[in-house]
Chains A and B, each alone.
Chain A
């Protein structure tokens, strides 16, 4: 029997008795989000190569205007993506899953469960600026509209010069709203709004059924969040590479 003096208190940043690789998950989240943010910002600033035939990149959809409007500040470079990306971006930024993930990965608050934090002060989501996370449901309303728009884009991607056809890009654009739909329709705010706010859901079978459906998707919310994030980026990459002539869009029929 031997002993070492170790006071039992929570130590500084990164201190823990955990023996597993606790840092792997926040690191992967950090790298994943960072890669997406860097790429999407770059792609949004290009204002080029966002269409190819009937395909439209989701970063630029809906395409509200292609030319710089008169009211646009002169010092700011114009891109059609900048007119719309704030909405899906805001939806993800205020998403309950993403919040928990980026508070850990980017702010180390905490870095992982039972791992010491870098700072003692903590405000949580009680005061400005994080109290603004409570507007998540408004971004949800916008995100629901975006799913309809992207579904229409997928439909348009089936028509090549007025003729029905399916290309690899068509499939890419079809998968995009499906994954986004699974993510958005599993949103915690939607789950609340469609039924969770009621204590007696059984009074409305439709409400109960809707709540159960949203709950079903909600159980895999993290998975849908990542799949849809990856795919929306991949869709832009695909359209961009086709537009730049770097890859060929194979027609299936």
Chain B
């Protein structure tokens, strides 16, 4: 029983992180119809901004991180993606790869390939015990942050004028423009929000591991990518769900796999993903609005 609860906490905590990652990718995909593989480098930029601001009080570190990542995301859009808007989707995809490699190598050149470490307040890393369960405060914080961010995002998309415009653009971008929705505003907003989500994920990630490397965003972006597709490309709730499914697979396999197989856990996780795709090739949640843009 204790293992089950412990695992449940792990699933929720890891799932929140994965959901934040996936939502960042899905939000941009919804409107631009391409997967931004440079999303991982937003995490990396967030990580290094925490490192560079390490002398500041913790609150300021967080603010610096959020501001840096959101600005970087906006810069991505303005410099790399706006000039190729409307180009062949493959062109956009390759551009995001190029951007990703460029930033990783830039980080390696300027900050070095070796891991940097940041000491975050011990409050985050402490554990407490309830009824024999050892719970890390960071796990609770991750879940709370995930829930708050997802609820706010949902509220924003549902209620605000800009949110409704974003949903309309995700469904039919051309028609949205034909009622007067400003393409640049909507796209920049999507990137800014995806930056905010990436910054939050970066903070959690750095708090978990304590280290920052140029390749920090590599694994997270693959997870975000798989979760987004598994959720059914274009569906935000699907992307979040995909994140939780991945975390469920990951934590469960970690517990159930025999000891000597555990190092290969990820092979089993992604193997299960392949199985899911065989059973539901269209993803967990099917979005009707996804069609080829002519």
Are the chains A and B members of one assembly? no
B residues contacting A by CB (< 8 A) are none
Please report A residues at the B interface, Cβ cutoff 8 Å.
Answer: none
